[in-house]
Structure 1
């Protein structure tokens, strides 16, 4: 089973229609929206700030989502706010940032403190978005450090929408398999 761990007076909150896979760990101030999916062996650690995951967002196997502590010069620190319909690939590291609705983070990518990925923007597999960078809507960034590569096509954006629907259905199938239905 997934582990939901109370920390610092906060317990993770998961909408009943969301899927949290066995082996996932949600710690502290973490909120998971409807039909979102948190896959096997993910860690979402909201111990020193908050994590919010929007509806239908999926965080794929082995990903780590964390936050940045409040500190002098950054009184609020950096929570991690992930909007609706976001795709986050396997083994991604997402830390103290904002991913707007319909953002995409590729396999093994890293998103660091203070970054934003706007709606319909994509960070390529293996890329590293360094602190404070913003990927504008409709752009693909790649590399270490990540830089602008090109604008995304309509077909690529449509593919993201299909990926969201696929993961909602796949999460339901996994939940049924686990429950033995």
Structure 2
């Protein structure tokens, strides 16, 4: 469901796919070939939420934040809470993780499932973060970066199946 709020309607690229069972409202821009899966809520009731190209937000996730920017080729796993300021290109947020306000995640980062990135934290590029609270455990390997990129590309293909089926 796509809704306007106070006269502001989400702007969605024609190549993007938004599930009919997702809820996208207000001040939101969604880029080319991005996908928003069933049960996702994106609530743009403040400053613009920008979702880049080739981004996937998977089932059950919640995206909300003032001025939030999600750069290109980001994968947001199932049941993730996104409330921070910026997620860098090529990053992957694992299932059930939480990303809190006034924080940033650098480029090509891997946030482990169930990790919590606390408020006022800046995660450097190519970091693997795990734990509660989340902390940098090591650098992300070239192999992991390739896998994360493949995940983003794979979900573009899968979203196309749903779009072609009229779902």
Q: TM-score by structure 2 length?
A: 0.96
What is the RMSD computed on CA atoms of the aligned residues? 1.0
Once the two structures are TM-superposed, the CA of residue 135 in structure 1 deviates from its matched residue by 1.3
Query: Match for residue 133 of structure 2?
Result: 145
1:128 aligns with 2:126: no
Once the two structures are TM-superposed, the CA of residue 22 in structure 1 deviates from its matched residue by 1.6
| Partners of 1:49 and 1:118 in 2: CA distance | 21
Query: Match for residue 63 of structure 2?
Result: 65
1:161 aligns with 2:149: yes
| Partners of 1:65 and 1:137 in 2: CA distance | 21
Query: Match for residue 13 of structure 2?
Result: 15
Preserved contact between residue 97 and residue 111 of structure 1 (Cα < 8 Å): no
Query: Match for residue 52 of structure 1?
Result: 50
What secondary structure does 1:52 align onto? strand
| Partners of 1:173 and 1:10 in 2: CA distance | 29
Could you list the per-position Cα deviations for residues 99-131 of structure 1 after superposition, in whole angstroms to 9, with x for gaps in the alignment? 011111110110011111111111111011000
- Structure 2: give runs of 5+ residues left out of the alignment: none
Once the two structures are TM-superposed, the CA of residue 153 in structure 1 deviates from its matched residue by 1.1
Preserved contact between residue 27 and residue 49 of structure 2 (Cα < 8 Å): yes
Query: Match for residue 82 of structure 1?
Result: 70
Preserved contact between residue 22 and residue 41 of structure 1 (Cα < 8 Å): no
> Following superposition, which runs of at least 4 residues in structure 1 exceed 2 angstroms of deviation?
none
1:24 to 22, 25, 29: 22
Query: Match for residue 71 of structure 1?
Result: none
Once the two structures are TM-superposed, the CA of residue 49 in structure 1 deviates from its matched residue by 2.2
| Partners of 2:86 and 2:126 in 1: CA distance | 16
Query: Match for residue 118 of structure 1?
Result: 106
Q: TM-score by structure 1 length?
A: 0.89
Task: Give the greater-gyration-radius structure (CA).
Answer: 1
